[in-house]
Structure 1
Amino acid sequence: MQKEKLSALMDGETLDNELLNELERSSEMQKTWESYHLIRDTLRGDTSEVLHFDISARVMAAIENEPVRQTVPLIPESQPAPHQWRQMPFWQKVRPWASSLTQMGVAACVSLAVIVGVQQYNGQSDSSQQPEAPVFNTMPMMGKASPVSLGVPADASAGSGQQAQVQEQRRRINAMLQDYELQR
């Protein structure tokens, strides 16, 4: 009931002195009054003057309140003195190097297996498709050198096999030109 009266007071529909006195005394009513005004300003779009989105103080306080995790300081491995190094057995001298080389070798083998596996997997999918046409054809265009003049009669010696080959080459060239035009 109090919230309805508070809303009516805020809208200017009523002016109740008893409600104003209670608003002065009650901190809960003051918070409700403040939140109602914030809601009204938000609905009107007037929040730029009211709301300040500087949350740095709250973030700093949250960081301060966060529990501190204890970290164990790293203790560097002590290196043997030169006189101790000479007395150490061979395998103790080689062990750090061998462990590093073993780790790198395992990583290299795994990488090689992955690369070969991917290549084999991709190679199987290509074999099911039809072979592609050669990219570079070394056959001469006409099968032999021909005169450039229009007045020279054509050779009658050109067989039907050569003409079929020339027709096939022309068909391929036209297909390549069409592909080029479509790709532009």
Structure 2
Amino acid sequence: MSENKFEAVSSIVDNDQQNDELFDEILNDSHLSATWQRYHLMGDVMRGETSDVINFDLSSQIASAIADEPTILAPHTSNNLVGKLKAKVVQFAKPFGQMAIAASAAGLMVMGVQQNSADTDALLPASQVVKTMPFGGVAEPVSLNFQQTSRSSEKQAFVEQQRRFQALLSDHQQQIKLSSVDVNHTQPQDKAEESAK
């Protein structure tokens, strides 16, 4: 289209000129008709005469764009195969997870014993230690009165450690039971699916 026609449409929209031939051409030409609509919309927007919601009919354009889209066919993947693969991976990895839990429990027990023995050494008051200077020139602390750790506190510490160990052990056994229940529930489904084939 020539620039002159667009300028003529603009002047008609602005009420600067009246041209019946151009009106007929606007009615017959979809491109000029769309230009006419756009110019009126721009004028309304600049004057602030538009409603808050402008109704654009985009459905036909979207429908044609979807129709023009190429169809891509992807190979059909079996969800059953993926489910079986996941079950096998979980079944393979579960023993390692259980061993990791048991190793963590054992490590915590060892650290707990070391921590408790370090705490009892720190309980001796500082006033009971005398520093002497031996002939070699190196100072070694010596205790004035030797206190034997009471058997009851050692026994209480041992009982507490045993209680913690039993709690960890029972938790581990419950995890094993739960994992065996999960495996038993998934296996009958797999067998039923295989027999259905």
TM interval, shorter chain, is: 0.3 to 0.5
**TM-score, normalised via structure 2 length:** 0.34
Whose strand fraction is larger, Structure 1's or Structure 2's? 2
Counting helix residues as a fraction of each chain, which structure ranks higher? 2
Q: TM-score, normalised by structure 1?
A: 0.36
> Higher relative contact order by CA 8 Å / sep ≥ 6: 1 or 2?
2
